[in-house]
Structure 1
Amino acid sequence: MQNLQTLLHSYGNWVVFLNVLVEQAGLPIPSYPTLLATGAVSSGPVGWISAWMLATLACWAADSAWYWAGGRFGDNLLRMICKVSLSRDSCIRQTQSRFLRVGVFALLVSKFLPGAGALTNVMNGYAGTAYRRFVVFELLGALIWAGSGLLLGALFSDAVGRVVGLLGQYGKWGLLLLAVLLALYVAVRAVRRWLLVRSLRVVPRLSIGELLQWQAAGRAPVVIDVRPGDLESMPRIPGAIVVDMHAPVSDLGLQGESRIVVYCACPNEISAARLAARLRAEGYGDTWALLGGYEAWEREVQAARGLSAIEDAGGA
Structure 2
Amino acid sequence: MSGLSHFVLRHGYLFLFAVVLVEQAGLPVPAVPVLLAMGALVGMGHFSLPTAVAVTVAACLASDLGWYHLGRRYGSSILRLVCRISLEPDSCVRRTEDVFARQGTRALLYAKFVPGLSTVVTPVAGLARLGQGRFLLWDAAGAVVWSATYLLIGYVFSAQIEQVAAGLRLFGARVVAAAVGGLALYVMWKLDQRRRFMRDLEIARIGPEELLARMQSGRGDVVVVDLRNALERGEDAAAVPGAIVLSPDELDERHHEIPRDRDVVLYCT
> How far off its partner does 1:4 sit?
3.6
Q: 1:264 maps to which residue?
A: 268
**Paired residues for 1:166-185 under 5 Å:** 166-167=167-168, 169=169, 174=172, 181=179, 184-185=182-183
Question: Which residue type is aligned with residue 245 of structure 1?
Answer: P
**Paired residues for 1:236-251 under 5 Å:** 236-245=239-248, 247=251, 251=255
Question: Which residue type is aligned with residue 264 of structure 2?
Answer: I
Question: Which residue type is aligned with residue 28 of structure 1?
Answer: P
When residues 178 and 53 of structure 1 are mapped into structure 2, their CA distance, relative to the original with a 3 A threshold, is farther
Question: Which residue type is aligned with residue 95 of structure 1?
Answer: T
Cα distance in 2 between the residues matched to 1:35 and 1:54: 11
The number of aligned residues is 260
Question: Which residue type is aligned with residue 17 of structure 2?
Answer: F
Cα distance in 1 between the residues matched to 2:51 and 2:181: 30
> How far off its partner does 1:219 sit?
4.3
> How far off its partner does 1:66 sit?
0.2
TM-score of the superposition, structure 2-length normalised?
0.82
TM-score of the superposition, structure 1-length normalised?
0.71
Q: 2:192 maps to which residue?
A: 195
> How far off its partner does 1:252 sit?
3.7
> How far off its partner does 1:140 sit?
0.9
Q: 1:8 maps to which residue?
A: 8
Cα distance in 2 between the residues matched to 1:130 and 1:58: 20
Q: 1:206 maps to which residue?
A: 206
Percent identity over the alignment is: 33
Quick check: 150-159 or 58-67, which moved more? 150-159
> How far off its partner does 1:60 sit?
0.8
Does the Cα contact within 8 Å between 1:41 and 1:161 map onto a contact in 2?
no
Secondary structure (helix, strand or coil) at the match of 1:84 reads coil
Cα distance in 1 between the residues matched to 2:176 and 2:188: 20
C-alpha distance after superposition, 1:11-52 (max 9, x if no partner) = 243332222111110112221122122212333384333322
C-alpha distance after superposition, 1:201-260 (max 9, x if no partner) = 234211112211222223451112223358897843222223353645994455554211
**Paired residues for 1:129-168 under 5 Å:** 129-167=130-168
- Where in structure 2 are there 5+ consecutive unaligned residues? none
C-alpha distance after superposition, 1:124-178 (max 9, x if no partner) = 21222221221111111111111111111222222222123344x46xx959966
- Where in structure 1 are there 5+ consecutive unaligned residues? 266-316
Cα distance in 2 between the residues matched to 1:179 and 1:122: 36
Q: 2:94 maps to which residue?
A: 93
Does the Cα contact within 8 Å between 1:94 and 1:228 map onto a contact in 2?
no
1:66 matched to 2:67: yes
**Paired residues for 1:18-97 under 5 Å:** 18-42=18-42, 43-44=44-45, 46-97=47-98
Q: 1:308 maps to which residue?
A: none
Cα distance in 1 between the residues matched to 2:85 and 2:248: 24
> How far off its partner does 1:59 sit?
0.4
Question: Which residue type is aligned with residue 24 of structure 1?
Answer: Q
C-alpha distance after superposition, 1:182-210 (max 9, x if no partner) = 7854x455334323223332342111122
Secondary structure (helix, strand or coil) at the match of 2:248 reads coil
Does the Cα contact within 8 Å between 1:5 and 1:164 map onto a contact in 2?
no
Question: Which residue type is aligned with residue 113 of structure 1?
Answer: V
Does the Cα contact within 8 Å between 1:226 and 1:244 map onto a contact in 2?
yes
Cα distance in 2 between the residues matched to 1:230 and 1:123: 9
Secondary structure (helix, strand or coil) at the match of 2:84 reads helix
Q: 2:223 maps to which residue?
A: 222
Cα distance in 1 between the residues matched to 2:116 and 2:247: 22
Cα distance in 1 between the residues matched to 2:133 and 2:111: 18
Does the Cα contact within 8 Å between 1:5 and 1:165 map onto a contact in 2?
no
Secondary structure (helix, strand or coil) at the match of 2:266 reads strand
Cα distance in 2 between the residues matched to 1:53 and 1:182: 34
Quick check: 144-153 or 34-43, which moved more? 34-43
1:112 matched to 2:113: yes
Cα distance in 2 between the residues matched to 1:103 and 1:41: 36
Cα distance in 2 between the residues matched to 1:109 and 1:50: 22
